[in-house]
Amino acid sequence: AQTVTQSQPEMSVQEAETVTLSCTYDTSESDYYLFWYKQPPSRQMILVIRQEAYKQQNATENRFSVNFQKAAKSFSLKISDSQLGDAAMYFCAYEGIQGAQKLVFGQGTRLTINP
């Protein structure tokens, strides 16, 4: 079974600074998808960024980018120019390409932005 591990329960960063959230995963599959989801205090889960495992290029969405290291099974999220609205729980998630394609989530990292 696939597992996802987020080793940082909490992180904090000064507004306008850069922060990196870590994620590692375990799988025997060669093709899959990886996601970062954001869950603000209102609790609605919002997609931040996705990465296809077959793509070597790291995904980027505005201030959000990932560092995908397939051999190391590592998938970190970098947030540049942090804003107060970035404060939330961040979940790393894995999705296989077979069957139900259900998401397997990590435990989450609570990100605090200090003004």
Partner 1 sequence: DTGVSQDPRHKITKRGQNVTFRCDPISEHNRLYWYRQTLGQGPEFLTYFQNEAQLEKSRLLSDRFSAERPKGSFSTLEIQRTEQGDSAMYLCASSLAESTDTQYFGPGTRLTVL
Residues that bind partner 1 (CB under 8 A): 4, 33, 35, 37, 42-47, 50, 52, 91, 93, 95, 97, 99-108
Least CB distance to partner 1 at residue 23 (A): 11
Least CB distance to partner 1 at residue 16 (A): 29
Q: Cβ closer to partner 1: 37 or 68?
A: 37
Distances (CA, A) of 4 to 70, 82, 84: 14, 25, 27
Q: Cβ closer to partner 1: 19 or 49?
A: 49
With CA atoms as reference, report the closest residue to 3 among 24, 22, 30. Answer: 24
1 CB contacts (<8 Å, ≥6 apart)? 104
